Each structure stands twice: as structure tokens, then as C-alpha cells.
A and B are shown apart, each in its own frame.
Chain A
């Protein structure tokens, strides 16, 4: 400080101190804004964590068939809000509050004022114990720029908050998930209950059709409600399916009424016979059709809308009336002795169907379809239609192993007994609903045609005089590598990278 008076040096240092304080405050403010922006940016994807977690739990429960966790959407929303608040609190606590250095603070003025590091250089040289001539000159040179720095307006460093579209996307997705989780959670149990009621009602109607007295809990008839289980276990958009499931019993009742009307003449003598012999033969055969009718009608009830149903029923009704008039049914029954099918219904039991009939062909096709679909999926995904409950091997009639409470030993509901005869041979195998057809476009047929090479003749090219070049060729760049060498090298490195990707620093 030989040239610069001590008071001047002290004054310059004081002015630099003031500038440094101003710069520090500005940098801290900018850091806070950037920290907030970064925290919001990190929070946005985290918003999805809570609803996705709840949704994942629900899906897992659906797949495993366990009792579903009913969650209110508002509760999920509330938890999500709490999570966001906790996240921001954590960001606030972890925020780096280290004060910016004096050099950075003065550097801000150097940058904004385009002082070319004059302030920082002067500040550094002021600390030198024996500054040289050029250092003193630099300090003196900085005096004027310190004055200018006081007038420099530091620009607000805009923090890059995530764009509004991103915010809307994430928040919207989170809210939708909350809503979805709420919708899935609430009506699920109601839907399940409706399905069970519908299945039971349908079974009851079917049993009423067949004339057999519907026992309160028939284990042989269990497959029918069980058959609905895989379907009810599949994910669905609760309310609509539940409504459709509610409609199913009503349609079944209508169908049952139609059947009754159609068979009124033919059934009069046989179908309503309640003799013990008929019971023995008829009950098993009735169980089959009731299960089958349950199988065939329920999918229609669940798949097709309600308004189509009566129209189709109206169309089918005359055909069926023509094909199976009540008189002919009774006549056929008597001609065959009616010992196998004493009850007139619109279905055929397995022992009546010829092997070359359509049903069996359709079954074969279904098996083929399943195989082809499984192949089409590459065998990677399991066929969910295979998720059938195991076929009931329980041959008991009544209340399983429990004796019927109404048993009195005089006919009617009997004690525990083992079924014998035809009833034990007919399996009520439920066939789940399905839509026929392949989920993929199918196999592609490639036709190869063998063509012998043929000789072609080309027209001779007429040679003409070359005209001189009209434009200069310019500077022709001479590549250091020939094109084939460059391609070779490029392909070599591409292969090398694809085999062993190298880790690069950012």
C-alpha cells in the first residue's frame, strides 16, 4: 500500500464490503428460489406415490382374490396432501444455507457490470502484504468501478420452476388416481354382493324351471355361483358391471318365464311329475341344464346391454317355437322312451348329444383357440381363462357332510347320503364367459414363388461429346479416411458399444 493511502484502502475495502453484502443477499435469495423450484420439481412425481401405492395394493388384492381394501378417495387425497407437506418440510430442512463467499458476491457485480474481474482482483490484492506496482494499479483502477457497481442493478435470477403443463399433468394424474382408487374401492363389495345374489336367484329360477325342489344350500349346485367367481375377480369398472350384474337375475327370470310358456303343453305331463323315480332320474339331469343355462345365459346378461335382449329374445322365440313345438317335444320324449330325459327342457344333456354334433366341435375349436392364443402371446402371459375353480368332486347331495336339518326319514329332505347313478356322473363344469376369436391378427401366410432368372437386354448408351464444365468445381475436400474406411470404423465402434456400453461421466 505504498501508493495508495491507508484511508483510501480502508474506504475501498468498506465499499467492497457493502457490495459483498448486497451480492450475498442477492445470491441467497436466488438460491432459495432455485431450491424451491427444484423441490417442486422433485415433488411432482412423488405426488403419484400415494395413490399408486393404494392402487397397487388394490390390484394385488384383486389378483390374489383376497378381501379388497376399500379406501375413500378423499382419504387418499388427504394422505397425499400430508405427504406433499412432509416432503416440502424435508426439502426446507435439508436446504443448504451456507452463506455465499465474498468472492462470489463481488463476482456477481463483475459479471453484471462487465468489470472483467476488477472488483475481485482489487479485493484480492488489498489483502496482499506487499502488493506490486501492477497490483496497486489494479486497486486504483477498481476505485471507479466500485462507484459504478453501486448503480448496477442485479437482475432477478429466475428460478426454473417446472412448466405449468407438467404441474397440471402430475397433479391431474394424482387426482385422477385418487378418484379412481375411491371408485374402485367403494362399489367393489356391493358388486360382489350383487353378483352372489344374482347367481343365487338365477339358480333358484333354474331349479324352479326343472321342477326340482331347490334345497337351501345344494353343494352340487355350488359350481354355478363358483363359476361366476373368476369373472367377479377380474378387474372392472365397478359401477357399470355391478349394475349389469344386478340386471342378470331379472333377465334370467324373463327367460325362465319364456321357457315355462313355451313348454307349457309338453311339460304338462312329464316335467311337473314329482314322483320319486322321476326325482331320481330327473334331478341330476336338471342339475346339468340348470348349470348350463346359468353358464350360457349369464354371459349374455353381463356382456350384452339390456335393450338388445328383448329384441333378440323376440327373434329367437318364433324359431324355437317352430323347432321345438311343445307337442313335438312330448312326442319325441315318448318315442325315445324318455328314460334319459324325462323332463322337457330346451337343452340337451351330455348323454343325449351325438359325438359329431356342434357342441363337441365347438369345444375342440375352443381348445385350439386357447392354444393358438397362448402361442400368440408367446407363452409369456398365463391364460386367465384357465383360472377356473377346480371341478367339484363332491358326490354328496344335501348339505355336504352335514345332515339335513329337515330330514325325518320319510322321504323329502333326507339325511346325508351318497349319490348314485346318473347324478354322480354329470359334472357341473362351469364354462366361463368368453368371446370367441383370436386376440391377434392370426398367422401370416407367406407364399414363396419360384421364378427362374431371365435374361434381359439393355439398350446401348449413345456416347456423346463431353461439354466443358460450366461452373467451377470449387474446393474438393479431401477426407482423411476413405468412405469405406469410415463406414468400417463406424460400424466397428457401433458394434463395440452395443456389446459393452462404456460408462461416461456427464
Chain B
């Protein structure tokens, strides 16, 4: 049995379809969502790269609307979990319930929780206890849920989009590093521009409801993920991604002084994986067939900001993880550029 190798023409066609589908989904989401283009692109990139997203922003900026719109546009099963401090893992995973049989008698049956879906919005995830938060770990990483001796495989594509409020920290449980590391992106949702306010009011306060159509499907998303994985990465670009990740680790040869002084924990290899995956999607969206250093650089802030833990000294100086990542990106040059200017 011989398998026919894909040709360059097929690759070009797949890349073109990738771009078209992406544009269609984005346009559909933008019908409901006003502004926030970088956040929409980030969420879509994470979905196509096969990662999860942590959205951070104050209430009322449309985080929930964005995720729900995405679910409608892609025709994915969407569920929303509002995390509270008294929530238990069983509340999100599911639990065994006693049900009556048709023929008489009772039986214990597993009633799945809201975590079993394609697109899960974990609203205010930092309000849940660590016990409940950790219930997400297996689902996010392994895309399966273990309940007793049973195992439930989650249907692909599976994407968790969690939100957290950066302001109200009273009575919250900051996500542990192990869980933060499982998010591909951490996107910061900001306030809309002035002209966007008028658009938001026009769309939401009027009599007309915005209805979204499914322009894609879960199967198509999985195909796009497969295409994205095929994008090759030149050696020097991969080296640049590795240098960036090492640059966040205090004591490494690529770390700038601010990292050595103010960082307690740098990025793990998952950060490099995230840079590569995000770079591949960005390269395809830019109409290229190989990842460039610019793609890696563009994804660096979203991929690395939640993987860097600022130490006590840095916190007292008011240094944020964003400052650290920006300093690393500025300090670590792509190998080609560094050699040319050496």
C-alpha cells in the first residue's frame, strides 16, 4: 500500500482554505463582537492551534459574548461554568445519580457536567477553590475526564476559555502555575475605543437581535489544526523560540538583567511549544508556508506572560510579567539578526 505524498500545490490549497475559513469565522464573530480584534484573533488562533485561552479583563467587556459567539460561528457545543468558591469538582465534571429504570428498579448513572462540551467558558475561574480548579487539569491536558473507574473522552475540538477579573482579588484563588501553564494564551481584554462604544450601543440596545450563523464545524476546525501542524519551522526560527523561552528563566545565558533580578520562575518547554504552534497559525494566516521569527515574536507576549512568575522583589517594584516578556523580546534577537549585527 503506497500513500501519495501531498504536493506543494495541495499545501498551497490547504493554506488558502485555512485562511478563508479563518476569515469567515472571524467575520461572523465580529458581527456580535465590536472591536477587540486582537483578542478575537488570539482566541481563534488558540482554537486552531489546539490550545486553551485565559482571558483577563474587568467585567462587561464582552468576554462571555466572544466565547459564545465563537461557539455559534463554529457550530460547537458550548457550555458556560460560573465558578464560585463553594463549587465542587463534581459540579463541573459530573456525578453519579440514582435514576429509575424503565422496567422498574434503580440504577446509578453518570450525569456529565458542563465540562463535557467542545467549547467551555470557565467564567471567573479564579473564584473557584484549587480543588475545583484542578479538576480542569485533566480535561485541558488529556482531553478526558476520569470519574471513579470510568473515563470519558471529550470530543474534539476541545477548548477551555477561562476568564478572570484582575481587579477583585479578595476571596479569590489565583491559578496555580501548573494550571496556568496549560493555557496556550493569556489575552488581556481592554476597554473599547470611543467609536466602538457607539457601535456597541447601536447593536445591543436596539430592537434588532444579532443572530450568528455557523460558518464552520468542529470537523473543519480539526482539519485546520492538522494543516497548521504541517507548517515547517526553519532551524533558526526554532532556535529563536528556544532562546526566548530560556530568556525568561533566571540564570540562563539569554536572560536579561531584569529577569535575573525579578523573576522567580520562567517559562517551561510548554512555552516553546506554544510559540511554535501559534507561529504556525500566524504564518498560514499571513500567507506563508514556513514560520518566521516575526511570527514567533508576535506570539511571545500572549504565550509567555502567564508562564513567568515575578518574585517578591519584582512585585514590590511594580514589575509585571508583561514588562518581563517585553524586556526578553527586546534583549533576545533572532539568531540571524544577531549574527548580522555582531
Contacts and interface: CB of A to CB of B under 8 A. Distances in A.
B316 A490 contact: yes
Nearest to B253: A505
A100 B337 CA distance: 11
Contacts of B7: 2-3, 133, 136
A67 B336 CA distance: 62
Given A117-B290, A141-B288, A480 B169 contact: yes
B6 interface: yes
Interface in A93-110: 100-101, 103-108, 110
Nearest to A4: B8
Contact of B313 (A104, A125, A493): A493
A133 B8 contact: yes
Contacts of A107: 236, 334, 336-337, 339-340
B45 interface: no
B6 A133 contact: yes
A120 B234 CA distance: 8
B60 to A, nearest CB: 11
B96 interface: no
B173 to A, nearest CB: 15
A448 interface: no
B132 interface: no
A137 B316 contact: no
A269 to B, nearest CB: 92
B288 A124 contact: no
B234 A108 contact: no
Contacts of A120: 234, 236, 336
A117 B292 contact: yes
A260 interface: no
Interface residues of A, number: 45
A85 interface: no
A167 interface: no
Interface in B279-314: 286, 288-295, 312-313
Contact of B290 (A134, A480, A489): A134
Contacts of B9: 3
A209 interface: no
A214 to B, nearest CB: 77
B257 interface: yes
B85 interface: no
Interface in A437-491: 477-478, 480, 486, 489-490
A92 B267 CA distance: 43
Nearest to A96: B342
Interface stretch (B10-18, B29-37, B117-125, B152-160): B10-18
| Interface of chain A: mostly helix, strand, loop or mixed | helix
B236 A125 contact: no
* Interface-central residue, B237, B317, B336, B340, by most chain A CB under 10 Å: B340
Interface in A126-185: 132-141, 157
Given A27-B340, A100-B340, A137 B8 contact: yes
Given A125-B290, A493-B313, A134 B340 contact: no
A502 interface: yes
Contact of B289 (A138, A477, A502): A138
B291 to A, nearest CB: 8
A121 interface: yes
B261 A502 contact: yes
A116 interface: yes
B236 to A, nearest CB: 6
Contact of A133 (B10, B286, B288, B313): B10
B246 to A, nearest CB: 13
A432 B218 CA distance: 103
A505 B255 contact: yes
Nearest to B258: A504
B164 to A, nearest CB: 14
Given A3-B7, A134-B231, A137-B11, A103 B336 contact: yes
Interface of A: 2-4, 27, 31, 100-101, 103-108, 110-111, 116-118, 120-121, 124-125, 132-141, 157, 477-478, 480, 486, 489-490, 492-493, 502, 504-506
Given A3-B7, A121-B237, A133-B8, 17 more contacts: A104-B340, A111-B340, A116-B286, A116-B294, A117-B237, A121-B234, A133-B6, A133-B230, A136-B7, A136-B8, A137-B12, A138-B232, A140-B8, A141-B289, A478-B167, A493-B316, A504-B257
8 contacts: A111-B336, A117-B292, A125-B234, A132-B230, A137-B8, A138-B290, A139-B8, A505-B256
Interface of B: 5-12, 15, 167-169, 230-232, 234-237, 255-257, 260-261, 286, 288-295, 312-313, 315-317, 334-337, 339-342
Shortest 3 CB-CB distances between A and B: which pairs?
Answer: A107-B336, A133-B11, A136-B8
